[in-house]
Amino acid sequence: MPELPDITVYVEHLERRLLGRILRKVTLANPFVLRTVQPPLGDAAGRRVVEVRRLGKRIVLALDDERFLVIHLMIAGRLRWRDAGGKAPGKITLASFTFDDGVLYLTEAGSKRRASLHYVAGEAALAALDPGGLDVFALDAAQFAARLAQGNHTVKRALTDPRLFSGIGNSYSDEILHRARLSPFALGARLAPADAARLHEAVKHVLSDWTQRLREETGATFPEKVTAFHDGMAVHGRYGKPCPDCGAPVQRIVYADNEANYCARCQTNGKLLADRALSRLLHDSWPKDIDQLL
């Protein structure tokens, strides 16, 4: 799922191409992507783009008279830009937004249709789509720690909860926790003040660093290869590969539709966290320490 760094770069490129432009037409290739009925989507045609915003992990095209197109890419949704006359992406297209000099396409790979489009009127209607997560860059260490301690959540779950923090998902939470040298299953409410402060700094560093990296990788070209996995990542998507800091193999815990990637030596004092499925299968043979794997 595109997260804060990816969404920020999307927003910056959309501002360059769309700000001040008139939206001529919105076309739905898949009617189920639209999750609102009032105002009718046709009302967007002929309106000028006055702002492009990030709302958590959503992208907002603000139009004249407080009309808002709100795009949530979810897991496999992506945005693609084609200059006027360019070839459309094809069967993966869910919706298209036509301007005089090009077309913005909302696409989604795979068979599951999770990406969504809302068209709403008024700031209050837009605010209703905001899950309420706070911008970590606007928080000081004490405010961050207080937010982290809400509920009895692990730090991994707290970081990725859109009601607590804005724009952080599975990929960058792995990188943040690795940089902070914290177990993904440490409880946010029990973190020592020094650990919470270190985590706060790690959040800001990882998100700002990756935003800048993606800007540089993309350059002037519209971002087409948005992915949750990058070669420069320390642990996310690197199961079994060496940790860049200590060389120990990166570990992984799979749960529900998600996973946590971590370095046992850097983050859990060498302890291997139990994977529910594998630990049940192996019982006493389940290794307890990273050195037992080496």
pLDDT tens sequence across 121-169: 999 999 999 999 999 999 999 999 999 999 889 999 999 999 999 999 9
- Under 8 Å between Cβ of 245 and 234: yes
What is the chain's alpha carbon radius of gyration, rounded to the nearest angstrom?
21
Helices (H), 163-253: 170-180, 193-218
Give the phi and the psi of residue 101 in degrees, each rounded to 5: -105, 10
Rounded Cα distance, 122 and 81, in Å: 27
Task: Count Cα atoms within 13 angstroms, Cβ side, for 19.
Answer: 9
Task: Convert the pLDDT of each residue in 197-246 to its tens digit.
Answer: 999 999 999 999 999 999 999 999 999 889 989 999 999 999 999 999 99
Which pLDDT score, from 0 to 100, does residue 110 have?
84
Angstrom distances, CA of residue 15 to CA of 40, 52, 54, 288: 25, 6, 11, 51
Which pLDDT score, from 0 to 100, does residue 294 have?
52
The H-or-E segment that residue 14 falls in is helix 4-18
Set out the domains of the chain in order of their start, with CATH numbers. 4-127 (3.20.190.10), 136-292 (1.10.8.50)
Average pLDDT of the residues in 191-198: 97
Q: How far is CA 271 from the centre of its chain?
A: 29
User: Which DSSP category does 158 fall into?
Assistant: H
- In this structure, what token pair is assigned to residue 266? 């850097």
Task: Convert the pLDDT of each residue in 164-192 to its tens digit.
Answer: 999 999 999 999 999 999 999 999 999 99
